[in-house]
Amino acid sequence: MATITFHGAAQEVTGSCHLLESPALGRVLLDCGLHQGGDAVERLHEETLPFDPHAIDAVVLSHAHLDHSGRLPLLVNRGFDGPIHCTEATVDLLELMLEDAAGLYLRDLERSNLRNRRRGKPLRKADYSRTDVHKALKLCQPHAYGDTWSLGPEATVCFHDAGHILGSAIVEITLTEKTQRKTLVFSGDLGKSDAVLMNDPTPLTHADLVMMEGTYGDRNHRSMDNTLAQLGEILTDTWARGGNVMIPSFAVGRTQEILFHLGRLHQQGALDNWQIFLDSPMAIKATRLYDRWFKLLDHNDVKHIRRSHHNALVDFLPNLNCAVSTDESMAINRVKAGAIIIAGSGMCTGGRIRHHFKQRIWNARNTLLFIGFQARNTLGRQLVDGARHIKLFQEDYVVKARIETLGGFSAHADQSELMRWIGHFEGSPRVVLVHGEPKALDTLSHKLWTENQRKCEIPAEGQSLVF
């Protein structure tokens, strides 16, 4: 019998990691993600791998976001040397994500050890190195959407477009145990059905067990028309106040979508004279990767770029300034008004956005605009929940900037879209809900039962199930 043990994203939205064991395929990890929130050095030091990395035969990766891929270098450091299966575009994005995360982690570790040295405390060793990142990347084996390939002696896998970010995949695994065929479908992160640049998530019809994410299982997003109207109102109001707009954004996915919409506003003559700064070297590189992979993206939205005789998202928005170096980032501080600053990280757990908070979050003329989900224990969640005082770089800051959230920009399917996607499955497959906070998963489970008589299971971290 096959067994699945949940080692992350179980009643939480970060740290996706599920161990699938069966004689048909050996021991395979579905994702190997990092938990987010808190100090980066402490967080990684506390990350555990509650299994023997040497005994893992392969990793099947749904997409490149760090909460699904961030523990790969740690896994390699602890002895894993098997294949990492993912889509072709994910290989390109993974290089950006893991290299950037390693750089931030090692710099934070250096600063932490500098403080420890001054205080006479023991120094902390790195939990992984750039060498581990490079080894993890070399282990990647890319596959195209729709191709079926072997995983173990009696198992096959097929990736389908999840519509979440570039290269994101729904994982379909078919295995045979004692002549009995079983199909497991792991949704990964499902995208919205109307997301610009991305295709709709692929509907599947057959499974014996479905592991589905439920990030927004308790709510529906605002319509895109209403969201864009809200964006316009926020920009107009902030412009009139003589302020700036700070947008914490995930380098992959949310950044490209907000750039697209700002580009549309510019093309329509409705962007005033805002100076727009993309202050994230990784987001800049990721945007260029999106340009390279346009063939995978939503053709109707890409037409808007082509129609304007532009060949790239960056060119689609000519008043965009890309800040790569630290000096270019710091120069943004000299702009006193009329700046839209897009910077990582998306949940404000690190990156350059925190430096912009230091310069502007205490000024009531400014606006802090969230366009993505904020997980528990992150600075972004504290701000969304109304925190009026925050700590940055060992100093306290008063929060006076206006806080706004644009729910329609989420990269995740909402409740109605999750219901629609699971509704395509014929019969009564076993349904397991992951990647969501307890309230969201409980609400989704209740709705699936009352409206569709689909019974759901919500595993806790460390729990196993047999199928």
Give the pLDDT score at 185.
98
> Which residues contact residue 118 at a Cβ distance below 8 angstroms, ignoring those fewer than 6 apart?
none
* pTM for the full predicted model: 0.88
What does the longest C-alpha to C-alpha distance in the chain come to? 70
Taking Cα atoms as reference points, which of 71, 63, 67 lies closest to residue 373? Answer: 67
E-state strands within 327-457: 339-343, 367-370, 389-392, 395-398, 402-405, 430-434, 456-457
Residue listed under structure tokens 């005082």: 389
Low-confidence ranges of the chain (pLDDT < 70): 38-39, 294-315
Domains, in order of start, for the chain: 3-219+412-466 (3.60.15.10), 224-409 (3.40.50.10890)
Mean pLDDT of the chain: 91
Give the pLDDT score at 193.
87
Report the amino acid identity of residue 231: L
CA pair distance 205, 203, nearest whole angstrom: 7
CA pair distance 228, 371, nearest whole angstrom: 12
Taking Cα atoms as reference points, which of 325, 327, 392, 328 lies closest to residue 360? Answer: 392
CA pair distance 390, 83, nearest whole angstrom: 42
Give the pLDDT score at 408.
82
Taking Cα atoms as reference points, which of 423, 465, 467 lies closest to residue 10? Answer: 465
Give the pLDDT score at 376.
82
Q: What is the pLDDT of residues 424-465, one digit of tens each?
A: 999 999 999 999 999 999 999 999 999 999 999 999 999 999
